[in-house]
Homo-oligomer: A and B are copies of this chain.
Amino acid sequence: MSAVEETDQAIVAALATDGRMSYTDLATQVGLSVSAVHQRVRRLEQRGVISGYGAKVNYEAIGLPLTAFVAIRPFDPAQPDDAPERLAHLPEIESCFSVAGEDFYILLVRVKSPTDLERLLQEIRTSANVTTRTTVVLSTPFEQRPPQVRLD
């Protein structure tokens, strides 16, 4: 993936902030014509710099009020490490990060209740043959803030 220059950065930042912004507004904001902005957005999408658009969701309101981080490491460190593929089918897992440190992966999960968290942890352990260490999120002061525009 090649780098992205200043104007494209501004476009990406604007669309990360408001993914439904019209090309007219976007053009004004970055100081280009509608045609030029349109062309750039299409290229950013094709290159995968923008991989899609999504609604920002209030998880409490949709019945998933419990968020947690689940750090996992293999029960047997010699076994093949294919945890992500083994866990991808669990929809409660929103994100999966491979990390440096004592743990192998950190998962971000969203569930309805402690009971569902318990069930999910069991599924994670058996699906990927791992041990888990769970950190429950109590509140979220802020989340998914758009990336800053870096004008180097």
Indicate whether A95 sits within 8 Å of B143 (C-beta atoms), given known contacts A20-B20, A53-B20. yes
Complex interface bits, A83-114 against B, C-beta within 8 A gives 1, otherwise 0: 01000100111111111110101100010100
Q: Which residue of B lies closest to A53 (CB)?
A: B19
A50–B61 Cα distance when bound, in Å, is 9
Q: Does A132 contact B (CB under 8 A)?
A: no
Of the candidates A54, A69, A88, A95, the one having the most CB atoms from chain B within 10 angstroms of its own CB is A54
Asked if A143 and B97 sit within 8 Å, CB to CB, the answer is yes
- Asked if A136 meets B96 with Cβ closer than 8 Å, knowing A4-B63, A18-B52, A18-B54, the reply is no
Q: How many copies of the shown chain assemble into the complex? A: 2
Tell me if A78 counts as interface (CB < 8 A to partner B). Answer: no
Contact B62 A19 (CB under 8 A): no
Contact yes or no, A148 B19, CB < 8 A? no
Is A60 positioned at the interface, with any CB of B under 8 Å from its CB? Answer: yes
The answer on a CB contact under 8 Å between B63 and A49 is: no
What count of chain A residues pass the 8 Å CB interface test?
A: 65
CB neighbours (8 Å) of A50 from chain B are 55-58
Q: Which of B9, B53, B92 contacts A53 (CB 8 A)?
A: B53
CB-CB nearest 4 A-B residue pairs:
A91-B148, A84-B141, A19-B53, A15-B55
What residues make up the interface of A, taking CB atoms closer than 8 Å to B? 1-4, 9, 12, 15-20, 47-64, 67, 69, 84, 88, 91-101, 103, 105-106, 110, 112, 135-148, 150
